Structure 1
Amino acid sequence: MVIGSALLLMAALAADPAQLDGTTPLTVQGDIPMRMVAGINAYLDRALEESVEKRAALWHRDFSSNEAYTKSVDPNRQRLATIIGATDARDTPNLEVVSYLSINHDKSSDIPHVQHVRWHVFRGIEGEGILVEPTGSPLAQIVALPDCDMSPEDFLTGVSANSGLLPVASGAAQLGCRVIIPLLVNRADDYSGTPGIRMTNQPHREFVYRTGYELGRHIIGYEVQKVLAAIDALKARDDTLPIGVMGYGEGGLIALYAAALDTRINAAFVSGYFQPRESVWKEPIYRNVWSLLHEFGDAEVASLIAPRALFVEACEQPNVSGPPEPDGARNGAAPGQITTPSSEAVKAEVERARLLLAGLSRQAPIEFFDAGKDGALQSWARVEFLQMLRIDPVTSKNVLHASLTMPQLPDPAARMKRQVQQLIDDTQYLMHQAEFRRKEFWAKADASSPEAWAKSVEWYRTYFNEEAIGALPPIELPPNARTRLVYDQPTYRGYEVVLDVFTDVIAYGILLVPKNIMEGEKRPVVVCQHGLEGRVQDVADPSVDSPYYHQFACKLAEQGFVTYSPQNPYIGEDKFRVLQRKANPLKLSLFSFIVRQHEQTLNWLGSLPFVDAKRIAFYGLSYGGKTAMRVPALLDGYCLSICSGDYNEWIWKCASVHHPLSYIFTGEDEMWEWNMGNTFNHAEMSWLIYPRPFMVERGHFDGVGYDEWVAYEFAKTKRHYVLLGSGDDAEIEYFNGPHMINGVGTFSFLKEKLNWPGR
């Protein structure tokens, strides 16, 4: 009778061997994984365009008065500070004179004093630059920010590769302004790396970006904090004078954000930066800000400055065609360009800002100037700016164009090295403090009992989904499964499967179905996940014996498991990395899509008559191991998870500049997840998987990490399971091998936890 039932089901499966019963034929040809990547790209392009209108839901502007308006946008201001990492309390204001660069002994002359200065920001970070003192009592105080590839001295004198750049700071000082010109971290790569370990061609700004992003810090936030600390010092000298900020290029970016965050700033002048920001993914990666376009375009940032004054100048922007050229092993920088938008595009973003502020009773002054071909920081724009600082620029145009002859600093390279190294040192300090910040973050989780844990952990799961991974809307389409037979082996058949998820977004994989399933029987499923640049055929094609995967989906199918090998979209090198760049400003990531693809896959697998929906396990290697930590943490449809070749002290892996295996040095520029270091390491992710069984597979010679790192992190996972009474459900297997599926202890783990004796 049993044999007869098995034959009946086998006959049903064989009724139309070209496709799986209950599905429609899969007819699409070509490279389905790259079609998947292209579909996600199309989805993101629409989302970027739609983000402009959707931002309004996050703003609750009160136009009843200027004071009410300022208060009503304070929550947005705080969120902007958070996403650029400008969250540290600053030190007591100070301004230390390092040396005098130009001293005026003739009190009747209008030539200002020029001093090399530095000021404390926080911890060991200092701002450095030059202070220009007018000959008389200052009438206003200005922080003037050059593009990051200009020195403060060149910005003061107007010397630049941009021949149209005028000596704005010099002119402002001669009109009676006290001016600080900070040094910004530049785009060279001299100090981007660790001597003796590896040097890269990453611009200094990217190198700082990489080390800080995982820890909730950003090169933008660091430099905004330097500006605000400079304002602290200026205010300490004279709290009665109006404050202005002005900037060009990268300095324009910092000036815009500083004015948005600090209401002490009376007026801001932004040259060569302001524009529609929906193509920020094309710009250098050090401008990538998590969730920026979810809430802020340049117009929304400008609306935080109101009712104070903002002046925007359209001009030629610094020309950045990409990172420094690779030089042998000195490589790994992310692509990205800065190009000049049309003046019409800049004006359109200014008009959008004005519309956002139309409800103010006294219209906030947002002025637009088009410098055309004349260059940046034109004098007639500066006159308008200075008037907002209560300065009457009656002096002739010659004064506005006047410049000083400045000696170069003894060692500008040493100054830049100090500035870069201070920021790197700070990120390394934060990296080592991160486990204590995570402990504080998890203080609300109640581990007194499994029941208390299950209740209290849901807040953390929601946070992980929305703030760390990024949550897409609910799945909008039915699976509409299409299949076709691709393998017919003695003990199982294999089907390619395509499922719908969203418009343009599909899920794809290979389902292996044992032939000896009896009628009415429901088998456990093992979802077998490939790694970076992998394809489902690497895992599930019986003719492919990858040195990494060793046909583990096929071997499990031969042992009686149903297996499904999904295609994840981390394939196509820069094609998929562009997805991450487009997703991050929308408060999304590549894993936002992977989670929904797996959710749809689980829905469909659970509907199959021969699948036990309560026994669907996950097992992934490398990037598939990265998936094993994130997807089962969010989808309880996976009854257990096995992480192979990835479980690690993940924060050190992503942020350390002292270990050669760190992602800091590689071309994998999509790895960083905003502020994960202070919220979720791999142990904390495993706590979201608890009470479901969890296992780590670790080869002693796997270069993804060190045994000591893995053991240190896994101890936290194991302790959690033990203390909550499930110690036998958390295991680790070390084996004498490299980065690969070992398939020994893990196969036993699957059989035990899925209650499958094998056939």
Structure 2
Amino acid sequence: MWTKIFAAGLLAVLVAGQTPLCAAETYSGTEPLTMDGDIAAQMVAGIDRFLLDEIDASVAARNDKWRWDFSSPEKHEQAIAENRARLAQLLGVRETREPFDAPSLLATAETSALVAQGDDFDVYAVRWPVLKGINGEGLLLVPTKGKVVADVVAIPDADQTPEQIAGLAAGVPAESQFARRLAESGCRVIIPTLVSREMSKRNGRANLSNREYVYRSSFVQGRHVIGFEIQKILACVDWFAKPSGNDVPIGAIGYGEGGMLALYSAALDPRIDRVCVSGYFAPREAVWQEPIARNVFGRLERYGDAELVSMIWPRKCVIERAAHPAVTLPGEGGAPGQISTPTDEAVSAELARVAKSDHLVVGPTSGDAASRPFGQMLAAFLPKEATLASGDGNVDVLQIIDAAARQTRQMTEMDDYDQGLLAVNEFVRKDFMKGLNTSSVEAYEASAEKYREIFYNDVIGRFDRPLLPFNAQSRKSWDNEKWVGYEVKLDVFPNVFAYGVLLLPKDLKPGEQRPVVVCQHGLEGRPTDCFDSSHKAYNNFASDLCEQGYIVFAPQNPYIGKDDFRTLQRKSNALGKTLFSTIVPQHQQIVNWLKTQPCVDPERIAFYGLSYGGKSAMRIPALVTDYCLSICSGDFNDWVLKTASSRHKFSYVWTGEYEIYEFDLGSTFNYAEMAALICPRPFMVERGHFDGCGEDEFIGWEFGKVIFLYQGKLHLTDRTEIEHFIGGHEIHSQGTFAFLSKHLDSTPKE
């Protein structure tokens, strides 16, 4: 019957002297597509240029986020309060710290807490409570002669131990043992242990640094290895700030990662009277190249290093232009990253942006930065009544601390804390979503808009710029017995375009409107995977749907090219954005264009994706409301558990997808909450029992919340389904095709 209808339509068109709908080499209303080569790679490269331009523009744009007031310290504190609170949230400095009277001395029946003695100070092994289950651990250096002139938190680089900067172990030149030199100068000094950059294969899979390992579970739950370490530093400040008969200035000083932590800590806490940053201060526009454990979501929106220094005013801030740690981390399942010493010109340019600099002491200012030893600015850091010791004193080591065991304890405590958050955040999300009004479908849709805005602006990240004109280009590249395929390219943003394949049934009649199914490939995929038999997992679902009478569009999403696309996430994160900050506008443009096509029913455009395409099925239709339904295949999960768990084999903690992490989903949007943004539109999950992306019980737990929302609260008994089938990570095409038929009413319109 359909063949007869098409033949009759074709005859009518030929009689009228017109071109048949599927016969032209260029799709109607478009210009010829002339791009050659790997268009997917060109798409990724274009997005990369767009993001780099956005990063460059962020420097000037930061000015709009601040209202500096240096007329008095009090007004300055008021002016920066909102940005300080925001910074604390982004760094994961959220919980109230555990109170304590003083650090505990680590001694046993056989060993003393006294581990070393200098000429003028004693060294103790100590521990102090920070958060529930997390303790700081390190060394306490107490002067034995004269009055204490200052209390100082001395923070080593991540690849240094407390013993090294205290002169108890080899590895740091004597003049750079800043904790020892400060203790010799009359300071009481506490040195926290940092999580190191030591590399290790995790669960026999990804080779991750210790810092990235902690970062992964923390980041997705709104916490951070940086935040945990800041909390350890500020817990020391809590102790120092307790009223006593010998109140002295409180300082923070650090090198490398320690310099970073000192800078953040002083920006957050005005009780720190003075700070010294060595081997860290620089422009941060290339933060995406640094180790991923330095990735702070939205860092460049408001906070360059210059802004952090400006927050410290009028307290003393010493910037030592010393050589930065030389670090190169391989991309062996973890994120590649490097740290190198910036040029004097780059540092000077960042210093020039400091909003008010009369509290700054900077030096040295000449010569090759890489040749300068740390420690030249210690005298400037000390209170004016103190004198810097010569640094040639002796230290007698009484016992050796097991630094490896201490490092393991630090990591284990942070990991246990993150795993505990998985259960707690379930209730945090429920409280977060309590504003949804389920008294009626209409009331629900209205109340969901607020959450959609939060999801887009704060979680996914929105580029606040208009879409470009389509400038649609196409070429016919496939001509099958039952369908014809056109490559289509659409402009989105400067340097950003959308690309995909439009499949049209050959029995499509002029003037007829049909539903569209957007078929989305997965990780490292291409549109052709969905229809040319090249990838078994997709089961040719796009061409099968086309042969059933649907129009199909198979977009090229930019998660292709390994590190080429994964660094897009790093660049996006620096701006408070994600990969989907670009992908969502691409899909909005695709849908906008499809709705203008005379053969498309604009009310019946559906989304169906596998794997990373299933990940897309959770996020894109939640924001692109023109999609009338969504099908998530091979991805639906307790997503926060999947990305944060260090207990389950299916967790992303063990894999090479370092870009998969999205900030603070733990307390905002797990998959049930994303599905709530798709509701009341139809939503379906396709699940193979043996799909290694997860396990049935966890997927069932999360989907149970979706069923309760649709059916229990809103009485939408036929709009959400899950199909389980005997199979793996693949398109099954059974229940999902029936779901599409039911909700798209695929009978062709006259």
TM-score (norm 1): 0.93
**RMSD (Å) for aligned C-alpha atoms:** 2.1
Is the Cα contact below 8 Å between 2:186 and 2:386 reproduced in 1?
A: no
Alpha-carbon distance between aligned partners in 1 of 2:548 and 2:158, rounded to the nearest angstrom: 61
Match of 1:96 among 78, 95, 104: 104
Deviates more, 1:163-172 or 1:414-423: 163-172
Is the Cα contact below 8 Å between 2:461 and 2:578 reproduced in 1?
A: yes
Residue 698 of structure 1: aligned partner: 687
Letter in 1 for 2:386: D
Is the Cα contact below 8 Å between 2:213 and 2:653 reproduced in 1?
A: yes
Residue 738 of structure 1: aligned partner: 728
Match of 2:125 among 110, 116, 122: 116
Cα 1:103–1:338 shift into 2, 3 Å: closer
Cα 1:69–1:611 shift into 2, 3 Å: same
- Secondary structure at the aligned position of 1:418 is classed as helix
Letter in 2 for 1:202: L
**Superposed CA offset, 1:569-625 (max 9, x none):** 000011000111111010111111110000000010000010001100000000000
Residue 478 of structure 2: aligned partner: 487
Alpha-carbon distance between aligned partners in 1 of 2:570 and 2:157, rounded to the nearest angstrom: 23
Q: Is 1:530 the counterpart of 2:521 in the alignment? A: yes
Is the Cα contact below 8 Å between 1:526 and 1:564 reproduced in 2?
A: yes
- Secondary structure at the aligned position of 1:240 is classed as coil
Cα 1:92–1:408 shift into 2, 3 Å: same
**Superposed CA offset, 1:153-199 (max 9, x none):** 11111855454752222221122111101111111135x63xxx546
Cα 1:408–1:199 shift into 2, 3 Å: farther
Residue 608 of structure 2: aligned partner: 619
- Secondary structure at the aligned position of 2:537 is classed as coil
Residue 298 of structure 1: aligned partner: 305
Alpha-carbon distance between aligned partners in 1 of 2:399 and 2:677, rounded to the nearest angstrom: 56
Alpha-carbon distance between aligned partners in 2 of 1:568 and 1:731, rounded to the nearest angstrom: 26
Letter in 1 for 2:183: A
- Secondary structure at the aligned position of 2:588 is classed as helix
Q: Is 1:392 the counterpart of 2:386 in the alignment? A: yes
Q: Is 1:579 the counterpart of 2:568 in the alignment? A: yes
Alpha-carbon distance between aligned partners in 2 of 1:676 and 1:6, rounded to the nearest angstrom: 52
Give, in angstroms, the shift of residue 104 of structure 1.
Answer: 9.1
Q: How does 1:441-452 map to 2 (within 5 A)?
A: 441-452=432-443
Cα 1:146–1:305 shift into 2, 3 Å: same
Q: How does 1:570-649 map to 2 (within 5 A)?
A: 570-649=559-638
Residue 232 of structure 2: aligned partner: 226
**Superposed CA offset, 1:358-382 (max 9, x none):** 6xxxx33343434845543324x11
Is the Cα contact below 8 Å between 1:23 and 1:483 reproduced in 2?
A: yes
Give, in angstroms, the shift of residue 235 of structure 1.
Answer: 2.0
Q: Is 1:518 the counterpart of 2:527 in the alignment? A: no
Q: Is 1:216 the counterpart of 2:222 in the alignment? A: yes
Is the Cα contact below 8 Å between 1:470 and 1:589 reproduced in 2?
A: yes
Alpha-carbon distance between aligned partners in 2 of 1:103 and 1:277, rounded to the nearest angstrom: 39
Give, in angstroms, the shift of residue 458 of structure 1.
Answer: 1.0
Letter in 2 for 1:521: E
Give, in angstroms, the shift of residue 392 of structure 1.
Answer: 2.7
Alignment gaps of 5+ in structure 1: none
Q: Is 1:183 the counterpart of 2:193 in the alignment? A: yes
Match of 2:151 among 120, 141, 164: 141
Residue 295 of structure 2: aligned partner: 288
Residue 742 of structure 2: aligned partner: 752
Give, in angstroms, the shift of residue 102 of structure 1.
Answer: 4.7
Alpha-carbon distance between aligned partners in 2 of 1:439 and 1:101, rounded to the nearest angstrom: 46
Deviates more, 1:745-754 or 1:469-478: 469-478
Deviates more, 1:60-69 or 1:50-59: 60-69
Q: Is 1:339 the counterpart of 2:337 in the alignment? A: no
**Superposed CA offset, 1:222-270 (max 9, x none):** 0000000011122236372110000001111111101110100000000
Deviates more, 1:586-595 or 1:400-409: 400-409
Is the Cα contact below 8 Å between 1:475 and 1:600 reproduced in 2?
A: no
Give, in angstroms, the shift of residue 511 of structure 1.
Answer: 0.3
Give, in angstroms, the shift of residue 519 of structure 1.
Answer: 2.7
- Secondary structure at the aligned position of 1:458 is classed as helix
- Secondary structure at the aligned position of 1:548 is classed as helix
Q: How does 1:285-364 map to 2 (within 5 A)?
A: 285-323=292-330, 332-353=333-354, 356-357=355-356, 363-364=358-359
Residue 125 of structure 1: aligned partner: 134
- Secondary structure at the aligned position of 1:565 is classed as strand
**Superposed CA offset, 1:628-657 (max 9, x none):** 000000011100000000001101100011
Letter in 2 for 1:724: L
The share of aligned pairs that are identical, in percent, is 45
Give, in angstroms, the shift of residue 315 of structure 1.
Answer: 1.4
Letter in 2 for 1:142: V
Alpha-carbon distance between aligned partners in 1 of 2:574 and 2:640, rounded to the nearest angstrom: 22
Q: Is 1:269 the counterpart of 2:276 in the alignment? A: yes
Alpha-carbon distance between aligned partners in 1 of 2:540 and 2:399, rounded to the nearest angstrom: 64
Deviates more, 1:589-598 or 1:161-170: 161-170
Give, in angstroms, the shift of residue 14 of structure 1.
Answer: 5.0
Alpha-carbon distance between aligned partners in 1 of 2:407 and 2:260, rounded to the nearest angstrom: 20
Alpha-carbon distance between aligned partners in 2 of 1:410 and 1:175, rounded to the nearest angstrom: 25
Residue 540 of structure 1: aligned partner: 531
Alpha-carbon distance between aligned partners in 2 of 1:34 and 1:322, rounded to the nearest angstrom: 25
Alpha-carbon distance between aligned partners in 2 of 1:127 and 1:510, rounded to the nearest angstrom: 55
State the aligned residue count.
732
Q: Is 1:569 the counterpart of 2:558 in the alignment? A: yes
Give, in angstroms, the shift of residue 110 of structure 1.
Answer: 5.3
Give, in angstroms, the shift of residue 6 of structure 1.
Answer: 5.4
- Secondary structure at the aligned position of 1:317 is classed as coil
**Superposed CA offset, 1:519-558 (max 9, x none):** 32110000000000000111133xx342111111111111
**Superposed CA offset, 1:271-305 (max 9, x none):** 00110010011111101111111111111111111
Is the Cα contact below 8 Å between 1:140 and 1:177 reproduced in 2?
A: yes
Match of 1:174 among 177, 184, 206: 184
Give, in angstroms, the shift of residue 101 of structure 1.
Answer: 5.7
Match of 2:375 among 374, 378, 383: 378
